Structure 1
Amino acid sequence: MQRFLFVCASLYFMSGLVSVDASTLEIYRLLNLFGDVFSRVRTDYVESVEDQKLIENALNGMLTALDPHSSYMNEKEFQELKDMTKGEFGGIGVEIIGEHGVIKVITPIDDTPAFQAGIEPGDYIVEVDEQPILGMTSTEAVEKMRGKPGTSLKLKIVREGKDPFVVEMKREQIIVKPVRWKIEKDIAIIRITTFIDEKTGEKLLIALKEIREKLGHDPRGIILDLRNNAGGLLEQAVAVSDVFLDAKEIVSIKGRDEKELQRAYSNPGEEVKGIPIIVLINNWTASCPEIVAGALQDHKRATILGTRSYGKGSVQTVMPLSGYGGLRLTTHLYYTPNGRSIQAKGIEPDIEVTQAKVQIVEDAKETFREENIPGALKVELNRVKQEKIEKEKDKDKNTEDKSLPAQKEVSESGNKKEKSMLDPSEDYQLRRAIDLMEGLSIVRSIEKDI
């Protein structure tokens, strides 16, 4: 019937009853071609295939051929997307992308089964419950990994430099916690894990309030950790940037018509005025966090530290299709306040620091000093020792860990071991950020004295 309608439409317009241009006639000719192929598949393919599946796959084929971020969502998938923006969904808590026919992990979400199982950014998922997923779209792969909370799931992982291994986990009702914080030496370390939560900006303000209440004053500085953050909602990138900027441009977006330029600005007044900021980024910082980092960098409001970001500078618009799910379509490119496009370029850090393993040199511990000399004055030495004890007590008192989970790292054999998140002794980039912030604090105190 559908084929017949396409043919009739072509004949009707070609009959001259309605005047149309050549491009319109070409569209109907191609739709006729689609109808022919669809009809042949329905009648001649070796197995029976549901009409809805054929159409959905055809739509997805059309959209994914445009770029990796455009896609069609059926009603179930569209509802799951809406649930994610509320901060709750069922599954294992991993953000993925289809890349050259395989599924690549962008990042596991903190404190989820995927995170606890040791899944890392850059991992490739090649099997789900012993079923190969080569050639699947990311939407199809997500569908296989989701399921009823409490049910088990096995993933076969390929990681660079290691033999393939299998991890097993149980699905859970995922509750996204987009903002986490910790205090280290009166410096606030704020980690934003995702922008998919529609209240990310609000939760950042709550975190700042809690930090001030804990310290009893403003922090000496803020380290904003945007590493392994795969993005989310554009309006939340604007909301987060608004916290750190005073009546400044945050981002501009352009569509097909370059005349239709849209700009987003921060409100007058800044929540953390005068407090130095360092932003941590890496190669898995993508989209929304790149907007934040780019805005703060262009306005010289923060020092960007880490490695070049992912470079996703496109905006997807989600369009509901009444009764048929929704359409995720790339409609715009975004630009930093200075007009830089991030697409396939990313944000270059002001200070490049690659992640490295922190190792204490044992020989450095045993150093000969004045106190080692026989007969050295002990009065001052005892006073210094007492001050050191008091400082350690204050450090324990002022260090707050706000629901930062332990990460289980998977070794080559598949065994799990605990690793603390946002621990400077384990995180070289964070250690460097803290050192830099302490240096900035010293310079600021000297400038005040002058």
Structure 2
Amino acid sequence: MKKFLGVTGWAAALALGGTILMSNSSAQTEETYPDTLTNLRMLGDVMEHIRENYVDEVNEKDLIEAAIQGMLTSLDPHSTFLPPSDFEDMQQDTKGEFGGLGIEVTMEDGWVKVVSPIDDTPAYKAGIEAGDYITHLDGEPVQGLTLDQAVERMRGMVGEDIVLTIARKGQEPFDVTITRDTIKMRAVRYRMEDDDVGYIRISRFSEQTQPGLDKALKRLKEESEGELKGYVLDLRNNPGGLLNQAISVSDTFLERGIVVSTRGRDGRDAQDFRAGAGDDADGLPVVVLINGGSASASEIVAGALQDHGRAIIMGTKSFGKGSVQSIMPLSYGDAAIKMTTQRYYTPSGDSIQATGIEPDIIVEQARLETVESRFRTQESDLRNSLKNPDGEEEEGVNDKTTEPEEETAEDNSNEIQDYQLEQAVRMVKGVSIFQNMHEN
């Protein structure tokens, strides 16, 4: 069994005003909560005016849900109301299977912003990138929609197309057509790099993550036949997920110490989550890859391994989401609210909210390719150049002017598809050599 025991249980919700009114007299309540009661009466008055006088007949349930949504979205981008359908989708999401485009989004200045595409999903294959802004859905602007409304419009029947208008830095807005599909996520993928470095890709922190990581470590050790030099843990474009899975993954690579701390309002409900004894990676070098699409739970793992000096963090600065949301089922129906209840802090006591994790080594993503001179001119092409004393030279190249020959760019066989990964593998090997030198 995994040495870390995750946090379990759902938070209970309290209906605003209901318990207070039932347990106290009207006089006591008005004296104790005068502003709250006044504002609740104002809300009731507004609803009554809408119900009686709005030009079209309205559904009171929709009005109440809209009011709840407005309260929550006014707090921060991550607090929201979850009607029954959304609550069910969220539960499926954490289990690792759901329908849609395969894209993690947030709301920024009224626009839908891509946190990251999810590996091997329609959005990923269509070229959607972290940091893209979605400005239109099927030609309709997203401004004026809530995040949930925009997400709902992106959902649909499997096999149906949707056109996203994308605004990307440095480019003119462009349209991308994506076909909706059932998203079946593998939280963990792994393979050997150069026969001696274990590559582990975690795309999301769901209920599948820790079992997948355990399997990856076991198989990589078997495949290397004792030659394993270390690991690359790839958290790029990982939007986060379950807190307990982030703690468990960090614990996998740590021998001991605090993984993360969480604190609520005014420091209440403060908790320190610690790693148990035993490093499942056997102390081998670890390089963690992050980028601007690495958020929340990904940043917990990167921050914990960085602060404990257990891993080298490489890539570019992470997203900067340093808050924890609690899911609170409501006392009626199957609805819930998702509300920010805590901030989390790395083992050194730092909050990464809006600042992100800074890599130890900044490596921008790039492509490495062979660059040749535009013109192919050699010594033998020069007028009156010296002859080879062995008499071995191409016929007709000396004593004449050779017209420069333009070089084509068709041959790109030396291209490296993932420059950041290439550097991470090299770093693992370098650290392994350094460790072995000191051990011997």
TM-score normalised according to structure 1 size: 0.80
Find the aligned partners of 1:138 and 1:58 in 2 and give their Cα distance.
Answer: 15
Find the aligned partners of 1:159 and 1:338 in 2 and give their Cα distance.
Answer: 35
Q: Does 1:318 align with 2:309?
A: no
Find the aligned partners of 1:134 and 1:17 in 2 and give their Cα distance.
Answer: 43
260, 269, 276: which one aligns with 1:260 = 269
Counterpart residue number, 2:371: 361
Is the Cα–Cα contact under 8 Å of residues 101 and 183 in structure 2 kept in the other structure?
Answer: yes
Going from structure 1 to structure 2, the CA distance change for 1:259 and 1:173 (only over 3 Å counts) comes to: closer
Q: Does 1:188 align with 2:179?
A: no
- Structure 1 residue 23, shift from structure 2 partner: 4.4
- Structure 1 residue 17, shift from structure 2 partner: 6.3
- Structure 1 residue 46, shift from structure 2 partner: 2.8
Going from structure 1 to structure 2, the CA distance change for 1:219 and 1:46 (only over 3 Å counts) comes to: farther
403, 416, 441: which one aligns with 2:432 = 441
- Structure 1 residue 313, shift from structure 2 partner: 0.7
Counterpart residue number, 1:330: 340
In structure 2, the residue corresponding to 1:144 is in which secondary structure?
helix
Find the aligned partners of 2:431 and 2:336 in 1 and give their Cα distance.
Answer: 48
- Structure 1 residue 274, shift from structure 2 partner: 2.0
Q: Does 1:345 align with 2:355?
A: yes
Counterpart residue number, 1:165: 174
Counterpart residue number, 2:87: 78
In structure 2, the residue corresponding to 1:362 is in which secondary structure?
coil
Is the Cα–Cα contact under 8 Å of residues 236 and 290 in structure 2 kept in the other structure?
Answer: yes
Amino acid paired to 1:438: K
Q: Does 1:56 align with 2:51?
A: no
Counterpart residue number, 2:120: 111
Find the aligned partners of 2:143 and 2:389 in 1 and give their Cα distance.
Answer: 71
Is the Cα–Cα contact under 8 Å of residues 424 and 431 in structure 1 kept in the other structure?
Answer: no
In structure 1, the residue corresponding to 2:350 is in which secondary structure?
coil
Find the aligned partners of 1:93 and 1:218 in 2 and give their Cα distance.
Answer: 37
Q: Does 1:244 align with 2:253?
A: yes
Counterpart residue number, 1:400: none
Counterpart residue number, 1:38: 47
- Structure 1 residue 204, shift from structure 2 partner: 0.7
Going from structure 1 to structure 2, the CA distance change for 1:59 and 1:20 (only over 3 Å counts) comes to: closer
Matches within 5 A, 1:139-154: 139-154=148-163
In structure 2, the residue corresponding to 1:19 is in which secondary structure?
helix
Amino acid paired to 2:248: A
TM-score normalised according to structure 2 size: 0.82
Is the Cα–Cα contact under 8 Å of residues 367 and 416 in structure 2 kept in the other structure?
Answer: no
Amino acid paired to 1:145: M
- Structure 1 residue 438, shift from structure 2 partner: 2.2
| Paired residues, number | 385
Find the aligned partners of 1:273 and 1:21 in 2 and give their Cα distance.
Answer: 63
Counterpart residue number, 1:392: none
Find the aligned partners of 2:415 and 2:312 in 1 and give their Cα distance.
Answer: 18
Amino acid paired to 2:349: G
Find the aligned partners of 2:415 and 2:340 in 1 and give their Cα distance.
Answer: 39
Going from structure 1 to structure 2, the CA distance change for 1:60 and 1:17 (only over 3 Å counts) comes to: closer
Going from structure 1 to structure 2, the CA distance change for 1:350 and 1:21 (only over 3 Å counts) comes to: same
List per-residue Cα deviations over 1:286-330 (Å, max 9, x = no partner): 110111011111111011112221111110000011315001011
List per-residue Cα deviations over 1:353-398 (Å, max 9, x = no partner): 22233232336xx9x9xxxx999xxxxxxxxxxxxxxxxxxxxxxx
Gap runs ≥5 in structure 2? 1-16, 379-387, 391-413
Find the aligned partners of 2:50 and 2:228 in 1 and give their Cα distance.
Answer: 65
Amino acid paired to 2:429: E
In structure 2, the residue corresponding to 1:239 is in which secondary structure?
helix
RMSD between aligned residues? 2.5
Find the aligned partners of 1:139 and 1:131 in 2 and give their Cα distance.
Answer: 16
- Higher normalized helix content (fraction of residues): 1
99, 103, 115: which one aligns with 2:108 = 99
Counterpart residue number, 1:419: none
Going from structure 1 to structure 2, the CA distance change for 1:139 and 1:222 (only over 3 Å counts) comes to: same
Find the aligned partners of 1:347 and 1:120 in 2 and give their Cα distance.
Answer: 19
List per-residue Cα deviations over 1:210-256 (Å, max 9, x = no partner): 21222222621111111111111100101111110113211110111
